Amino acid sequence: MRILILGGDGYLGWASALYFSQRDHTVAVVDNFTRRLMHLERGTDSLTPIQTLPVRLAAWQEVTGRVIEPFVGDIQDWYFISHVIRDFQPDTIVHYGEIPSAPYSMIDVHHAVRVHENNVNGTLNVLWAIHQFAPDAHLVKLGTMGEYGTPNIDIPEGYFEIEYNGRRDVLPFPKQAGSFYHLTKVHDSHNIMFACKIWGLRATDLNQGVVYGIETDEANLDDRLITRFDYDESFGTALNRFCVQAVAGIPLTLFGKGQQTRGYLNIRDTLRCVELTALHPPAPGKMRVFNQWVESFSVSELAYIVQQAAQQVGIDVAIAHYENPRVEAEEHYYNPAHKELFDLGLQPHYLSDSLIESVIRRVVQYRDRIIHDSIIPRITWQHGATDEYMPITALEKTGAPAEEMQG
């Protein structure tokens, strides 16, 4: 297949590019390096040292003999993205090309608008370009389980049957997004569904859980091929961040009661899910939805798992409850379906102590790159970015002194 990866310089985009290239697909990546610039803006950086895209691509060709074609530009630029899609003629477009951060979207009005413009306007450009120049291409949009929120009923895979006033229909499941970022994903879903309906496009919406890890077979071929490892409050995912906090001696951060439950999956499973989706496209005119996650944990459960794994490598870390910077249910029902990808053949990697220990050892390798000031939350849903760290409300286990926790 000819596979175009939007956001191909990012955490999952880069890993996906290598994964598909190694499997003999013709791969091209699109990126404008917004993610790198946002980290400069926020004073943060990847724990792992990331090479420039030209160095990464040259290293991949040197190590494997395979070529990945780069297109540097912004999907908000209609002229740019329309010409990329027209000239490359992809069979599949994997869409990671969005700003992926709930906290970043809540900093202030300018950041909320920026996230909407990048994510919604960029996706509209992609849809129109597919319509005009590659109408048979399959769009694989990486959504998020956060689009659903935490309703007090089971969550289906995108659609559900409803009866109202004696009549039945199959409708999209209602979304209850938890941030302006998550709302952009909801808007994208609606726009993609509409485009499939009116133009006969084909698309899959992968509502992805929280991804952890950086180890892939391709990245392990050469240190220059390693992907991002973000742990800061804006872009870090929970398990990755907890592992960094353990190594840095910073108590693991739980918001409020810490019973918020989410679906999680290993980065290797993300790559396989995207591959299975690409290999089995839907019929023209259809947007299907897969819930892409493997295991669910409360944040508190995840913290205890990391705490225990850290002890196995000689690290003792506390768990701290912070005043919740978000507006969310801290205890809730959570039972989303996730059958479709398993039916297509997903054989998942389950979270284990040994896997977490391997992540912790990788963090130890780069511990000198940890920016301690970037971990404790200062972005709140009600007041935006603040100068003050969120206060600790409870400490579950004796660890670092409070003054060390704050900086």
Q: Annotated catalytic residue: which of 11, 96, 104, 181? A: 181
Give the HSE-up count for residue 163: Cα atoms under 13 Å, Cβ half-sphere: 1
Q: Annotated catalytic residue: which of 185, 322, 380, 389? A: 185
Verify whether residue 123 is a known catalytic residue: no
Give the closest residue to 322 by CA, choosing from 259, 391, 397, 378: 391
Give the closest residue to 207 by CA, choosing from 290, 101, 95: 290
CA angle 268, 273, 274 (to 5 degrees): 100
Give the HSE-up count for residue 55: Cα atoms under 13 Å, Cβ half-sphere: 10
| Burial bucket for residue 59 (CB in 10 Å: 0-12, 13-18, 19+) | middle
Q: Give the torsion sign (CA, 374, 377, 383, 387).
A: negative
Q: Annotated catalytic residue: which of 34, 48, 123, 144? A: 144
At position 330, the amino acid (one-letter code) is: E
Give the C-alpha distances (Å, rounded to integers) separating 118 from 100, 269, 295. Answer: 11, 27, 31
- Residue 122 and residue 130: Cα distance in Å, rounded? 12
- Residue 140 and residue 306: Cα distance in Å, rounded? 32
| Count of other CB atoms within 10 angstroms of residue 284 | 13
Residues 6+ apart with CB under 8 A from 91: 1, 2, 3, 136, 137, 138
At position 269, the amino acid (one-letter code) is: D
Verify whether residue 144 is a known catalytic residue: yes
Verify whether residue 181 is a known catalytic residue: yes
| Count of other CB atoms within 10 angstroms of residue 2 | 15
> Which secondary structure element, helix H or strand E, spans residue 253, and what is its range?
strand 252-255
Q: Which residues are catalytic?
A: 144, 181, 185
